[in-house]
Amino acid sequence: MSLEVTSLGVQVHGGMGFIEETGAAQYYRDAKILTIYEGTTAIQANDLVGRKTARDGGQTAKALAAQVAQTESELAASGHADAQAVARRLKAAREAFVDVVDFVAGNTKAHPNDVFAGSVPYLMLAGNLMAGWQMGRALLVAITPEAQAQDAAFMAAKVTTARFYADHILSKAPGIRDSIVEGAGSVTAMALDAF
């Protein structure tokens, strides 16, 4: 994600001279190494599939999803419009995640190529869901009278950030689910010697 964020930063800051003045290009170069020296994204994704999901039939992942569902309920019950909107997006993302967990747990042994073809999108979906969950939890704190009394402007920014994340990141989860659960054929269709 740092690579994507810094790439957007380069896009925002435009032309070469301005990029160098702001340091955006250096942040982008620095972020690139993260996908290499921390283990490639695919290795981390394969670990998520094999050791973190398939090994226990998805039970740990579903336990996390149950915690997310609890936060959804709290957001929906809050009476706050932004919290309720985040709850809806969080629910759709969680349901997409659970569908993928079921797909991974049910197909890793019988159809491993189909599962591993979607391992990187699964990793991104899981990470985005977990981040959205934490943002939802932060929103719940930010709307309390105690938090508002401490620093209303900061808490308003927390609410806005959570809403933005829900509307622009979590909203992508159902499509990512589709690419994982239904998209393996187009990934595995070409013969290996075509590469």
Catalytic site positions: 38
CB atoms within 10 A of CB 113: 10
Residues with Cβ < 8 Å from 72, sequence gap 6 or more? 87, 90, 91, 94, 136
Q: Using only the alpha carbons of the chain, give its radius of gyration.
A: 19
DSSP string, the chain: -HHHHHHHHHHHH-SHHHHHHHTHHHHHHHHHTHHHHT--HHHHHHHIIIIIIITTTTHHHHHHHHHHHHHHHHHHHT--HHHHHHHHHHHHHHHHHHHHHHHHHHHTTT-HHHHHHTHHHHHHHHHHHHHHHHHHHHHHHHTSHHHHHHHHHHHHHHHHHHHHHHHHTGGGHHHHHHHHHH-HHHHH-S-GGG-
